[in-house]
Chain A
Amino acid sequence: MEKKQCQCGHLNPPGTVLCEVCGRSLTEKEQKSKLVDMRYEGTARRSQTYNKSIIDKVWNFFSSVKVGVSLIVLLLVAAAIGTILPQKAYIPATTAEEIKAYYADVYGSVGRVYHFLGFHDMYSSFWFILLVGLLAISLIVASLDRFVPLYRSLKNQRVLRHISFMNKQRIFADGPGAEDTMQKAEEKLKELKYKVTTDKNGLLAEKGRFSRWGPYVNHIGLIIFLFGVMLRMMPGFYVDESLWLREGETRAIPEAPGYSLENKGFQMETYTGEDDEAVFNEAIDRVGSVAKNYQTDIVLYQKPEDSLPGAADLEKVKESSIRVNEPLKFDGYAIYQMDFRLDELKAMRFELTNKESEESLGELTIDLINPEKTYDLGNGAAVKLLGYYPDFSGFENGEPQTATPLPNNPGFLVEMTTPETPDGETSFITIKNTVEPFGENQYKLAFQAAETRDVSGLTIRKDRTLPILGLGGLIFMIGVAQGMYFNHRRFWIQQKADGEIILAGHTNKNWFGLKKDLDQVTEYASLPAYVDQQEEIEKAEKLESEEQS
């Protein structure tokens, strides 16, 4: 493409629609249209100017609005498809086979197809990320392409424009003026907070130019945000761990070196409907019960600087509680109350009794977390623990087995000694039954009661990208507000030698506001009445169509 010489003598870059200096239309299409196309001030989008190498072609591709909007729409559709069935993160299956089976079992053939197409893991699929990435490229390229020429042209605005530029503006006025018209118009425009520049017989009044940068500012915000998201996908930028912490336990916090957490107690409260809560009675009755609070009271410990993992010399950092919406925060970490399990077995109380006489020789409580070797009941009676199987799962080669370290189904191999049975009697006790491997015993351990404890499900997070994401969000918001809550208004006024006033007005949005400003100026400076040429065109079209019908 060639550079374009305007009648005024200025040499414009190829692709320019309106002369950079005087505003004359440079293309045939533009010359024929009734109103001037003011997008990007009629400057050439950079990509349109050159179209030579492959790189230029790729660049132009990403610069186009059509491509940008298509990417937005594709992303929108993909995102929506991902909600048709639950994503894999929200279903109760973990392994690949289980997940596949779940979709097939629960959702039938629809689920099978959904899984086959990979829609069950839509948002981390490579092509979804690719779409976001392409959109990011489009954001950057399109912004660069438009910002640079727009900036140049708004910076080098001329006050005096050619008549063909003026009379093709949507707001246009033409008529006789008085001697002081220009001066009065300037006064009023300044009062209305316009920046006025004059040149010979003309003036340019401008307000809110900064709003034109809004789109580019918000795009920068989005790019920063996406950059944060990209960093987040790299290893080590964030921590997401979970910890099941039982009441009374102290555990090292995963991925938070040196820190440990003790669970002093978990509470779950529901609304009672009493006192202040009486207003909620109807709702509570309808639903049954409504949870009010999930809370873990904790102590946070840190190992001293010179101490080693595993050593017992922990230093208390703070004692507090974690509730939903009130995570524990320390050193960039946050710990959340996410889940819980109630009533895990903690201790069991037994009574050593004579089977026949039912006479009791005393009680013992076995701490299931930390059992003792022997329990002396006094008066010559004792119970010795020979084996402890917290989650008894059966025998293997005569040996009792435990499936997990948790006391879900405790089994005890005990030896009971009493004055009557000084050699001891052996018994294997579980919740369900008792086995006496060496023949009938005289004594038994009768189960009395169990103590339980709750387990708190906590999530540990640390996210180094949050400040970046926050900054991106902030800049985005500033950009959107700047671009949308403010607008760029301009008036060009010229007075010819014979006193004739020519006026044109333009705004990038809110014509209503522009007209309100102009009404004030017109009244004060007795400017000729203006017309909204867009409305005129429409009226004419309407008349035309009415005449036809």
Chain B
Amino acid sequence: MSLTDLSGNLLYVAFFAYLIGAIVFGGAVKGNKERTSEGSFKSESRWGNIAFAITILGFLANLGYFFTRWGATGHAPLSNMFEFTTAFGMTLVAGFIVIYAIYKTPIVGMVVLPVALLIIAFASMFPSEVSPLIPALQSNWLAIHVSTVVLAEGVLAISAAAGLIYLLKVVDLNKKSKQRFWLEAIMYSLILVIGFVVASSYFSLTGYESEFAYVDKEGKNAEITYHMPAIFGMHQYEQLNEDKMTPLMETPAVVNAGKLTTVMWSLIVGTIIYWLIRLIARRRIAAIFKPFVKNVNLQLMDEIGYRAVIIGFPLFSLGALIFAMIWAQIAWSRFWGWDPKEVWALVTWLFYAAYLHLRLGKGWHGEKSAWLGVVGFAIIMFNLVAVNLIIAGLHSYA
């Protein structure tokens, strides 16, 4: 087995360990309600510790994936969409491990691990073969800058997880409210990621390919291969294989209809899954989680959420702004160029700066703080997904 294969297998091991860990954490939270003398729940701490051990095993395998891949390629595996996103899943788990070690909260594991699973699954939809570094990335700063950023984002995401738990507990799902709507929207968007993974996996397993010629926005002729049945056609497209689906609609030249098609399929499949779950459970997705959060200590969740931000914010400043500027000065001759990725790093930073000022200066604790934590994660995900895939810029390596 080559180092690359070993690396890939270790990632599978990590994935399944996280999956089992998530289930056991769920069981721990829901298990029996007998209180120990210290006031915590017996089964919760027993099963929680078992789940934690499984998570640690998974994390070790995940680290194994990371370093064997590093060994195989000779560079830190942080150079494209697959590698970065996988690392994000890993640091999310790392953040959880630290939090669990301090606070012993299985509920956080029950939320973080499925999200980490989603992120790793999302990552594996991108080309995952090891690839060499282009000249701009050949620098030690790749490891320094990107690993700090990914670690910071992992920690900051913990704040969103704690916030989500907080909201699941406090938001009243029996009354119609903005809070109820947005909470469900969060659950829905998580399920859309499943939709993307399911759709991509299905069409890639069935080997769907369909080729089109089109005219790009500069007026040049180009070709594109769709890996999903074309819902949208590229600007002035011409279908090259006959037996494949004909696009329903043509898009203007600035829109990449190929990517739009992927988004559409994810939406369709995700929405179907969402409604299937709702029909089977006969309640909102958020309501399914209600029983799990019944005994959550809100004060603790608030503190975990805040703690994650105060640990993550300095790391993020260092990695995504300071190290980024140093490297940009070396590689691109200027420390700042208002490239979309840079701007969104700044947006993320400003957002958390606002979070901190609102909390410290205006006393935004509890629910408000929880919402902000979730929004912060949304911004991070936007920067990861949308800025890489939709807004073209210097950072579009995937």
Contacts and interface: CB of A to CB of B under 8 A. Distances in A.
Complex A–B touching at CB under 8 A: yes
Interface of A: 39, 65-66, 68-69, 72-73, 75-76, 79-80, 82-84, 86-87, 89-90, 106-108, 122-123, 215, 240, 271, 276-277, 279-280, 282-284, 286-287, 290-294, 323-325, 327, 334, 336, 338, 459, 461, 466, 469, 473, 476-477, 480-481, 484-485, 509-512, 532, 534-535, 538
Given A76-B347, A327-B330, A69 B357 contact: yes
Contacts of B321: 473
B294 to A, nearest CB: 11
A202 B357 CA distance: 34
Given A325-B135, A327-B330, A279 B338 contact: no
A511 B74 CA distance: 44
Given A461-B333, A512-B102, A279 B135 contact: no
B310 A79 contact: no
B310 A325 contact: no
Nearest to B360: A39
Given A283-B129, A290-B134, A79 B357 contact: no
B277 interface: no
A292 B137 CA distance: 10
A215 B313 CA distance: 13
Leading 3 A-B pairs by shortest Cβ distance: A65-B361, A283-B131, A324-B135
B350 interface: yes
B343 A83 contact: yes
A72 B354 CA distance: 7
Contacts of B310: 484-485, 509
A107 B235 CA distance: 13
A278 B179 CA distance: 54
Nearest to B349: A76
B306 interface: yes
A510 B343 contact: no
B291 interface: no
Interface stretch (B87-95, B116-124, B188-196, B385-393): B385-393
B358 A107 contact: no
B334 to A, nearest CB: 7
Contacts of B74: 276
B347 A80 contact: yes
Interface string B224-251: 0000000000000000000000000000
B325 interface: yes
Given A327-B330, A481-B314, A280 B338 contact: no
B135 A83 contact: no
Nearest to A290: B132
30 contacts: A66-B362, A75-B350, A79-B346, A83-B343, A86-B392, A86-B393, A89-B337, A279-B130, A280-B131, A282-B130, A283-B129, A286-B127, A287-B131, A290-B134, A293-B135, A294-B135, A324-B135, A324-B136, A324-B138, A325-B138, A338-B332, A466-B335, A469-B335, A473-B325, A509-B310, A511-B303, A512-B103, A532-B299, A538-B298, A538-B299
Given A66-B362, A69-B358, A477-B322, A325 B136 contact: yes
Q: Is the interface of A mostly helix, strand, loop or mixed?
A: helix
Contact of A83 (B132, B306, B391): B391
B311 interface: yes
A72 B350 contact: yes
Interface of B: 2, 4, 72-74, 102-103, 127, 129-132, 134-136, 138-139, 141, 217, 252-254, 297-300, 303, 306-307, 310-311, 313-314, 317-318, 321-322, 325, 329-335, 337-340, 343-344, 346-347, 350-351, 353-354, 357-358, 360-363, 387, 391-393
Nearest to A105: B217
A244 to B, nearest CB: 15
A426 B314 CA distance: 76
Nearest to A293: B135
Given A69-B361, A69-B362, A292 B132 contact: yes
A292 B132 CA distance: 8
Given A327-B330, A512-B303, A535-B299, A83 B344 contact: yes
Contacts of B300: 512
Given A123-B338, A459-B333, A323 B135 contact: yes
Contacts of B299: 532, 534-535, 538
A277 B217 contact: no
B338 A82 contact: yes
Q: Is the interface of B mostly helix, strand, loop or mixed?
A: helix
B302 to A, nearest CB: 10
A82 B333 CA distance: 22
Nearest to B322: A473
Contact of B338 (A87, A290, A535): A87
A476 to B, nearest CB: 7
A334 B333 contact: yes
B343 A484 contact: no
Nearest to A474: B322
Nearest to A37: B363
Contacts of B363: 39
Given A90-B393, A325-B330, A485-B310, 18 more contacts: A39-B363, A65-B358, A69-B361, A79-B346, A80-B347, A83-B344, A83-B387, A122-B338, A215-B360, A279-B2, A282-B130, A290-B134, A293-B135, A294-B135, A323-B135, A325-B141, A469-B335, A476-B317
Contact of B357 (A65, A327, A512): A65
Contacts of A284: 131-132
A509 B103 CA distance: 15
A35 B136 CA distance: 55
A117 to B, nearest CB: 17
A532 B335 CA distance: 47
Among A83, A473, A477: residue with most chain B CB under 10 A: A83
A46 to B, nearest CB: 15
Contact of A510 (B135, B253, B254, B307): B307
B333 A79 contact: no
Given A65-B361, A80-B344, A336 B333 contact: yes
Contacts of A89: 337-338
A79 B350 contact: yes
Given A79-B343, A279-B130, A283-B131, A484 B311 contact: yes
B131 A73 contact: no
B318 A477 contact: yes
A311 to B, nearest CB: 30
A108 B318 CA distance: 39
Contacts of A287: 131
B313 A292 contact: no
Contacts of A538: 298-299
A242 to B, nearest CB: 10
Contact of B72 (A76, A279, A477): A279
A461 B392 CA distance: 26
Contact of A72 (B129, B306, B332, B353): B353
B220 to A, nearest CB: 12
A534 B321 CA distance: 37
A138 to B, nearest CB: 10
A484 B313 contact: yes
A511 B365 CA distance: 14
A80 B343 contact: yes
Nearest to A276: B74
A122 B347 CA distance: 14
Contacts of B139: 325
Contacts of B127: 283, 286
A530 B363 CA distance: 24
Among B311, B314, B346: residue with most chain A CB under 10 A: B314
A107 B218 CA distance: 11
Nearest to A124: B338
Contacts of B351: 76
A543 B313 CA distance: 36
B48 to A, nearest CB: 17
A210 to B, nearest CB: 16
A276 B335 CA distance: 33
Contacts of B72: 279
A213 to B, nearest CB: 14
A35 to B, nearest CB: 11
